Structure 1
Amino acid sequence: MDGGGSDGRGHHDEFRGVPRIPSPRPAADDLHPHAYRPPAPEPPTGDEHCPAPDTQAPAPDDADRAGTDTAGADRAGADAPKTADGGDRRSHRVLKSLLGAWALAACSAEETTAVEEHLGECAPCAEEALRLRDAVGLLHTDRDLDLDPLLRFRVLENCLGRRPARIPVPGWADPYDAETARLDALLRDIGDSDWHAPVRLKWFDGKTQVNRRTTVAGVIGHLMTVDGLVAGALGLDDPLGPHAPLPPTARTESFWNSADLPPTGAIREPWREQSHTLVRTVSFAGRGVADMTVPYGTFALPLRDALLDRAFECWIHADDIADAVDYPYAPPSGIHLNRMIDLAARLLPAALAERRRAGLAGPPQHLVAAGAPGRSLHLEVEGSGGGSWYIALDSPAAAGSPDRSIAQVALDGVEFCKLVAGHVSPEEAAVGQDGDREAVRDVLFAAAALSRL
């Protein structure tokens, strides 16, 4: 930093001959106003001169004292000594205080030159400068900022495992909570243009498969309006107003026809808020709420089954949306799928009786008293969520019985749900059949008749 002495030794030789390494900046310097920036330069007096080339280098103790003298070499700017080529020569303390700014490339051109010249002469400052430069490099890493798609699931699973929610969601509402969350994640990932992607909704009208063309946003509007039936039963606001029709198809048509413009991605937020409100309401409502009646116009379901029905439809239409936007989408978990299949199996006797009244199924053969075992079909569902059910054939009030089983149908769980949703026709359902053919046909068509818009 200082020029060579009269004995001809350069600064490097002098430094190597001195075992003392400058100590770290004292803690008090952190609060000193001049610790990081030299004081403003004072006007030149005109009588200052550059030091003679043969000026004797100060002893180590003298250099330390000079570093603490505010009237000495700590002065920057005009008070700083000049090098032979006219550049600034600043004190060790000043240059050391500039290392952080130098590592961040925040020094002026003159300060940068002075610091870099000093680093070539001072080994401790050079080592600290390298450490600071490496630390700055860690702040600018070029790495992928996309989060692991499973990170949210793992964090929530770990949090709930350590501290369960104080107000847990009732078990019978879990499928609806899970399926609306999965659909919301899908909607969060799609682009603005995907909301207008065409979606063809399919269902079975009792005799044949029919369909209706809409968009992704139109599907979310359909789900929101039918979920409004549950909201109304709980005393919440109905998205269609207090005088809206009850049948799901009529509600959907009313929503689509009343909109001034085709639905857009803005429909996601009201649907999402409504689903959260439903889950929150049933979680705080208490035990008796599960048996509340939710009217669907031509039929009614207890609230526990109504939310399960809404979970089933949410999954089916989420799968429709995923197909439209080319998005991978998996079936529900095994336990939730099992509950959905169980609901369909419990509704099958009533659906079969309704078809019989319409002349679309064979007549009953052995009527029995309500609750008594009657002729049954063994429905065996394989795969995740599978199980065995016995479907009463002659009366919806009869009890299914393995002892009076006259036919058997075996098919995959997801395939059965697609049949119930009207996405697969009874003739196309891949099933294993055994026993009374008419009973098998009647049950498969009754399963498809459970579907609706």
Structure 2
Amino acid sequence: MNGPQGGGHGPEGPDDRPDAAPRIPGPRAAGDDLAPPDVLPSPPPVPAEPVPHGVLKSLLGAWALAACSAEETAAVEDHLTGCAPCAEEALRLRDAVALLHTDRDLDLDPLLRSRVLENCLGRRPARIPVPAWATAYDAETARLDALLRDIGDSEWHAPVRLKWFAGEEAVNRKTTVAGVIGHLMTVDGLVASALGLDDPAGSDAPTSPAERTERYWRSGYRPPTRRVREPWRQQSHALVRTVSFAGRGVSELSVSYGEFALPLRDSMLDRAFECWVHADDIANAVAYPYDPPSASHLHHMIDLAARLLPAALAARRRAGLAAPARHLVTAGSPGRTLHLEVEGAGGGNWYIALDSPAAVGDPDHTVAQVALDSVEFCQLVAGHVPPAEAAAGQDGDREAIRDVLSAAASLSRL
């Protein structure tokens, strides 16, 4: 074979000279070791146009809701570092957004609702305001409804033990969270009936709160569930609306509780008190934090109990459960008096006539003094604290003190 490929000698090229470099190339580097190919340098970045202040301000609401894109979020937060008014507005919006979450617990300031309503009504008074004597009921039913909205389905069946005093003995009754709401709705029906509204217990229901409750509990072939919340809340709304539209004269309308009656203004306060007490029972059953009512509402609740004490003491005296009267006086005259000093939020001083409901309590005729904390006094009236353990301070006639504390516990009922 001849030619260059056969090892012959053809025409000499520049690489065929004896002193030329060998034609076989050296080993190649791995692909990962190759230097990147030469490319043209990147053009300098074009500076972004500044976002107008008005646009950034309009994005604050979306930013607070975490609804901005990444670029918008960066622009807004960069703007907030240098604009104090927008930074203040952004913080206010973010705090407001935090209140919109429905899965929060109820650890809010108990006065928040009152402050919000007061501020709103200060700017635009309500055309049909809620009467002052019904505001405690409105507030306590709203607080209880917030608690009920926050608990789970299973917690509606949590056991709750209701407590009260009958005669000289502590009494209790076991039910569930749903059963407590049914009890509140059934007894609130007495107020509804007095106002001409539908009575959830029926037109033939007894007027005794205990009998009405027992009848309601027996009427269902299944234990009540969370479905009882809606009719209870609708009824409480209807009561507040009705007394608001009814005018001033309705406050003295009589509401019968079987063995006694109260004017509507006191009955609404009584219902507010029971709503709070049973809300606290429910909160304890489901391990939920729950605060007492506002100081002004608590004061009115204590005042109602203090006004009822002389009649309760007289009833216990007729039943042989209290010492006989010592110094009878004519109606409207001052007689032997116990000074009830209630300390803490909503507290004050009350003078309780000892010998007759028609007598007048008078500081100059004081024969005994009792000092209690406001919440402790309410727990006594609710039948949750034994009379012998209630008073923090006692001075004077021990028999009068014992009788008044026992009379306060006798105000409790199912």
Same fold, TM-score > 0.5, yes or no: yes
Give the letter aligned to residue 101 of structure 2.
D
Match of 2:380 in 1: 419
Match of 2:101 in 1: 146
Q: Is the contact made by 1:180 and 1:275 (CA closer than 8 Å) also made in structure 2? A: yes
Q: Is the contact made by 2:207 and 2:257 (CA closer than 8 Å) also made in structure 1? A: yes
Q: What is the root-mean-square deviation of aligned Cα atoms in Å?
A: 2.6
Q: 1:11, CA displacement in angstroms?
A: 9.7
Judged with a 3 Å threshold, the aligned counterparts in structure 2 of structure 1 residues 414 and 133 are, in CA distance, closer, same or farther, namely closer
Q: Is the contact made by 1:380 and 1:389 (CA closer than 8 Å) also made in structure 2? A: yes
Q: Which residue, 395, 401, 411 being the options, matches 1:440?
A: 401
Match of 1:79 in 2: none
Matches within 5 A, 1:284-295: 284-295=245-256
Q: Is the contact made by 1:206 and 1:448 (CA closer than 8 Å) also made in structure 2? A: no
Match of 1:196 in 2: 157
Give the letter aligned to residue 238 of structure 1.
D
Question: Equivalents in 1 of 2:393, 2:246: separation in Å?
Answer: 44
- 1:368 equivalent in alignment to 2:305: no
- 1:181 equivalent in alignment to 2:164: no
Matches within 5 A, 1:17-416: 134-135=71-72, 146=101, 150=108, 153=113, 156=117, 158-416=119-377
Give the letter aligned to residue 126 of structure 2.
A
Match of 1:53 in 2: none
Q: Which secondary structure does the structure 1 equivalent of 2:272 belong to? A: helix
Question: Equivalents in 2 of 1:301, 1:355: separation in Å?
Answer: 19
Q: Deviating runs (4+, > 6 A) in structure 1?
A: 10-13
Question: Equivalents in 1 of 2:331, 2:117: separation in Å?
Answer: 47
Give the letter aligned to residue 191 of structure 1.
G
Give the letter aligned to residue 134 of structure 1.
E
Q: Is the contact made by 1:203 and 1:451 (CA closer than 8 Å) also made in structure 2? A: yes
Q: Is the contact made by 1:289 and 1:303 (CA closer than 8 Å) also made in structure 2? A: yes
Q: Is the contact made by 2:370 and 2:391 (CA closer than 8 Å) also made in structure 1? A: no
Give the letter aligned to residue 246 of structure 2.
A
Give the letter aligned to residue 363 of structure 1.
P
Q: Which secondary structure does the structure 1 equivalent of 2:198 belong to? A: coil
Question: Equivalents in 2 of 1:385, 1:157: separation in Å?
Answer: 19
Write the deviation string for residues 210-240 of structure 1: whole angstroms up to 9, x where unpaired: 1000000000000000000000000000001
Judged with a 3 Å threshold, the aligned counterparts in structure 2 of structure 1 residues 162 and 442 are, in CA distance, closer, same or farther, namely same
Give the letter aligned to residue 443 of structure 1.
V
Q: 1:173, CA displacement in angstroms?
A: 0.4
Judged with a 3 Å threshold, the aligned counterparts in structure 2 of structure 1 residues 158 and 401 are, in CA distance, closer, same or farther, namely closer
Q: 1:208, CA displacement in angstroms?
A: 1.1
Q: 1:270, CA displacement in angstroms?
A: 0.2
Q: 1:158, CA displacement in angstroms?
A: 4.1
Q: How many residues align?
A: 328
Question: Equivalents in 2 of 1:355, 1:261: separation in Å?
Answer: 39
Judged with a 3 Å threshold, the aligned counterparts in structure 2 of structure 1 residues 220 and 284 are, in CA distance, closer, same or farther, namely same
Q: Which secondary structure does the structure 1 equivalent of 2:200 belong to? A: coil
Judged with a 3 Å threshold, the aligned counterparts in structure 2 of structure 1 residues 133 and 318 are, in CA distance, closer, same or farther, namely closer
Bigger RCO of structures 1 and 2 (CA < 8 A, at least 6 apart): 2
**Structure 1 stretches of 5 or more lacking a match?**
1-9, 22-130
Question: Equivalents in 2 of 1:438, 1:135: separation in Å?
Answer: 76
Give the letter aligned to residue 146 of structure 1.
H
**Structure 2 stretches of 5 or more lacking a match?**
1-38, 49-67, 76-96
